[in-house]
Amino acid sequence: MDENKVKNYFEDIAQEFDNIYDNEGTLITKITNKLFRKSLYERIPISLEECGDIKDKTIIDIGCGSGRLCYLLAKENASKVVGVDYSQQMIDIAKEFVKKKDLEEKIQFECVDFFVKYETKEKFDISIALGVFDYLQNPEKFLDKIKRVTKEKIIVSYPAKYAFQAPIRRVWLYSRKCPVFFYTEPQLQRIYENAGLKEIKIMKTPLNSLIPTGYVVSARV
């Protein structure tokens, strides 16, 4: 199954992926990050801006990875932050990261497949999923699951179909036995309208780029 392939991929590269945020690694890695990963670096500050004032808000970070966004949300005084990811390696890194920042008591991490196994009776004010829909064969169903646990706003990132590095990324991930899916702006508009979401805002990343490498989409439930 594609889900297992994605999970195995992130189990293998968990520490390597986390290093991207600090731009650590070889010179070639640092150059690659600067040239090809601008969207990854921009999507967190864009998401934080779209959240607005999060004091006393409850937020779930779906596909939280190494916990970088969860840390920033807790730092901004969200009343509750939950990070879920189906990679145990990522969750372990996330827990260690927020422990070093003395914020582990403000963030709840769960190693769980959000779509298949995550259950909750509560709804979160804001749901965020960055770097998740890249690997989903059925984005509509996953978005519907997010909608069911959200009271106010959903913020999600997507890779752009016509980005110059899209073919390179496809080949690279194929070599690692990991699927990847790309999106166009009209496709995203249609998905969100069909989901019954409101105030749909599609932002290109990098910001102000003529040919985007990705999108961050904000919408109200």
Q: Using one digit for the tens of pLDDT, what is the confidence trace for 149-203?
A: 999 999 999 999 999 889 988 998 999 899 999 999 999 999 999 999 999 999 9
Instruction: Give the predicted TM-score (pTM) of the model.
Output: 0.89
Domains of the chain: which residue ranges? 2-220
Question: Tell me, what's the pLDDT at 172?
Answer: 86
Quick check: 207 pLDDT over 60? yes
199-208 long-range contacts (CB < 8 A, ≥24 apart) are 201/50, 203/46, 204/160, 205/38, 205/39, 205/42, 205/43, 205/46, 205/157, 206/38, 206/39, 206/42, 207/42, 207/46
Quick check: 102 pLDDT over 90? yes
Four-way CATH pick for 2-220: 3.40.50.720, 3.30.420.40, 3.40.50.150, 3.40.50.11540: 3.40.50.150
Question: Tell me, what's the pLDDT at 15?
Answer: 75
Q: Using one digit for the tens of pLDDT, what is the confidence trace for 22-78?
A: 655 566 655 555 555 566 779 999 999 999 999 999 999 999 999 999 999 999 999
Q: Using one digit for the tens of pLDDT, what is the confidence trace for 111-155?
A: 999 999 999 999 999 999 999 999 999 999 999 999 999 999 999
DSSP line for 3-66: HHHHHHHHHHHHHHHHHHHTT-S-HHHHHHHHHH-HHHHHHHHHHHHHH---BT-EEEEET-TT
